[in-house]
Amino acid sequence: MVKVDEIVAKWNAEHPDIQVSATKSDGKAAEMIKKLETDIKANNGPCLAQLGYGEVPEMFVKGMTEDVTEYAKEYEKNFAGAFSLMKVGETVVGLPQDTGPLVYYYNKAAFDELGISVPTTIDEFQAAAAKAAENGKYIAAFQPDEAQY
């Protein structure tokens, strides 16, 4: 992954008339979103923000993203999997910078107790999550008030 500071330095070297700076948020994602929301409402928001894929829907729903579909489409074929995480419906709200190893760990005994098989598709995951929720359990790392299933 190219570090943001390196991207900024390259941009600034190539565009001396348009200089940018990077500000790092050391807090948790929720704290960063609150700061961005406050800054945007005060018309002091950044031109760009680096978000985790999980924050994209919340930022979109809160009206804190821009539709960049016309500018981003040319990159879709190169980054199909990660690119899809930057879309809400057919609206593209950003470009992926990187991906990390994504692993789903589960408690086999707990799944067996609930009669849930390991999901391999999003539909199976949603069905498993719904079945777990019916039994007062959650199969993802969400707080109970954040879970939809």
Which CATH number goes with the domain that contains 52? 3.40.190.10
Q: In angstroms, rounded to a whole number, what is the distance separating the alpha carbons of residues 140 and 125?
A: 10
The H-or-E segment that residue 91 falls in is strand 91-92
Residues 25 and 44 in one domain: yes
Name the percent of the chain in helix, strand, coil, to the closest 5.
45, 5, 50
Please say whether the beta carbons of 85 and 53 come within 8 A. Answer: yes
Evaluate whether residue 67 is within a structural domain.
yes
Evaluate whether residue 107 is within a structural domain.
yes
Evaluate whether residue 61 is within a structural domain.
yes
How many structural domains compose the chain?
Answer: 2
Q: Give, for all 149 residues of the chain, the pLDDT tens digit.
A: 568 889 899 999 999 999 999 888 887 878 888 889 999 999 998 888 888 888 888 888 888 899 999 999 888 887 777 888 888 888 999 888 777 666 778 889 999 999 999 998 888 888 898 899 899 888 876 444 444 44
Residues 109 and 56 in one domain: no
Evaluate whether residue 16 is within a structural domain.
yes
Residues 22 and 81 in one domain: yes
Which pair of structure tokens corresponds to residue 136? 């007062």
Which pair of structure tokens corresponds to residue 141? 């790392």
**How many other CB atoms are there within 10 angstroms of residue 6's CB atom?**
11
Structural domain containing residue 84? 4-92
Residues 16 and 85 in one domain: yes
Please say whether the beta carbons of 22 and 8 come within 8 A. Answer: yes
Evaluate whether residue 131 is within a structural domain.
yes
Quick one: 139 exposed, middle or buried, by C-beta within 10 A (0-12, 13-18, 19+)?
A: buried
Residues 118 and 84 in one domain: no
Partner residues linked to 95 by β-bridges: none
Evaluate whether residue 18 is within a structural domain.
yes
Evaluate whether residue 98 is within a structural domain.
no
pLDDT number for residue 149: 42
